[in-house]
């Protein structure tokens, strides 16, 4: 398994057009439908990080150009024809994250913003809500860390299974140490791993196995992106010269 994180940066309209050359068709359609500039930027960088993970997994740019995104029964995306390439994407605030493995994987990234206990009462299991209540007023920082540890673990499990948060997260109950999450509806247990390598954010990854990297790999996207653009331009020039 590999986990990647990358910080986004503001893109100008002309830059966006150039970066479309690096994205898959599904991502391009998704981005063009987004009106919010910030959301569009996050979506672009998520698509770029997927390309990065695909190339790091040993596939080449020619394979990427042929890549088509399919959808599972519950809408979870996958790349058609690459059965050993599973991935998960998440973005929040100024950051994007990608988990890649040879088996289904889910990842959630959350900026640790102010939150309310009413959210925990609504979405968390009663035992988790009780854990948060024991910290109420005593240690706000610890309580916030616990809240986001629960949230990201649950979302990563939901995303691993492809059902999405709309299917509910209260049935996913986290262990006290956040190393496992149990789906009480099905009785299945999954492994999870938290990462706090990005200041002010919480990342959690969910898998059927307990083989996680020690830390995510932080990618300098700016340098990598423009190297990729240069490669694409060079290939296009070669093709035109041959034609």
Q: Residue 93: is it exposed, middle or buried by C-beta count within 10 angstroms (0-12/13-18/19+)?
A: middle
What is the pTM for the complete model shown?
0.91
Q: Is residue 209 predicted with pLDDT exceeding 90?
A: yes
> Counting runs of H as helices and runs of E as strands, what totals does the chain give?
8, 11
Q: Is residue 133 predicted with pLDDT exceeding 60?
A: yes
For residue 171, how far is the Cα from the chain centroid?
A: 21
Query: Are the beta carbons of 69 and 24 closer than 8 angstroms?
Result: yes
- Per-residue pLDDT of 9-53, as tens digits, reads 998 888 888 899 899 999 999 999 999 999 999 999 999 999 999
Residue 174: its pLDDT value, please?
Answer: 92
For 28, the token pair is 């391009």
- Per-residue pLDDT of 102-132, as tens digits, reads 999 999 999 999 888 888 888 888 889 988 8
* 3 state DSSP class of 206: strand
- The chain-wide mean pLDDT, for the chain, equals 89
Distances from the Cα of 15 to the Cα of 6, 12, 212, angstroms: 18, 5, 35
Q: What distance, in Å, lies between the first and last C-alpha atoms of the chain?
A: 41
- Rounded to whole angstroms, the Cα distance separating 216 from 105 reads 14
Nearest to 2 by CA among 73, 77, 139, 107: 107
What contacts 8, CB < 8 A, 6 or more positions away?
41, 42, 45, 91, 94, 95, 96, 221
For 26, the token pair is 């599904």
Q: Which helix (H) or strand (E) holds 219?
A: strand 217-219
Residue 155: its pLDDT value, please?
Answer: 92
Residue 119: its pLDDT value, please?
Answer: 85
- Rounded to whole angstroms, the Cα distance separating 137 from 143 reads 9
What contacts 211, CB < 8 A, 6 or more positions away?
1
Angle at 54 between CA 71 and CA 57, to 5 degrees: 125
Residue 177: its pLDDT value, please?
Answer: 92
- Per-residue pLDDT of 160-204, as tens digits, reads 988 666 557 888 999 999 999 999 888 899 999 999 999 999 999
- Per-residue pLDDT of 44-80, as tens digits, reads 999 999 999 999 999 998 899 888 999 988 888 999 9
């Amino acid at each position: 398994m590999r986990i990647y994180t990358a910080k986004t940066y503001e893109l100008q309209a002309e830059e966006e057009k150039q970066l479309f050359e690096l994205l898959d068709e599904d991502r391009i359609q998704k981005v063009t439908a987004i009106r919010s500039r910030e959301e569009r930027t996050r979506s672009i960088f998520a698509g770029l990080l997927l390309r990065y993970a695909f190339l790091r997994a040993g596939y080449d740019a020619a394979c990427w150009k042929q890549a088509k995104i399919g959808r599972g029964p519950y809408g979870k995306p996958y790349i058609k024809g690459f059965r050993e390439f599973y991935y998960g994407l998440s973005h929040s605030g100024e950051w994007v994250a990608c988990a890649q493995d040879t088996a289904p994987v889910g990842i959630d990234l959350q900026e640790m913003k102010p939150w309310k206990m009413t959210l925990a009462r609504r979405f968390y299991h009663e035992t988790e809500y009780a854990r948060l209540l024991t910290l109420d007023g005593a240690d706000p920082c610890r309580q916030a860390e616990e809240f986001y540890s629960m949230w990201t673990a649950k979302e990563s499990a939901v995303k691993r299974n492809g059902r999405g948060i709309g299917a509910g997260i209260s049935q996913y109950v986290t262990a006290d140490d956040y190393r496992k999450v149990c789906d009480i509806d099905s009785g299945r247990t999954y492994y999870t791993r938290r990462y706090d390598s990005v200041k002010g954010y919480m990342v959690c990854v969910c898998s059927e196995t307990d083989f996680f990297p020690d830390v995510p790999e932080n990618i300098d996207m700016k340098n990598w992106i423009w190297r990729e653009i240069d490669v694409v331009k060079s290939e296009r020039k070669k093709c035109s010269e041959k034609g």
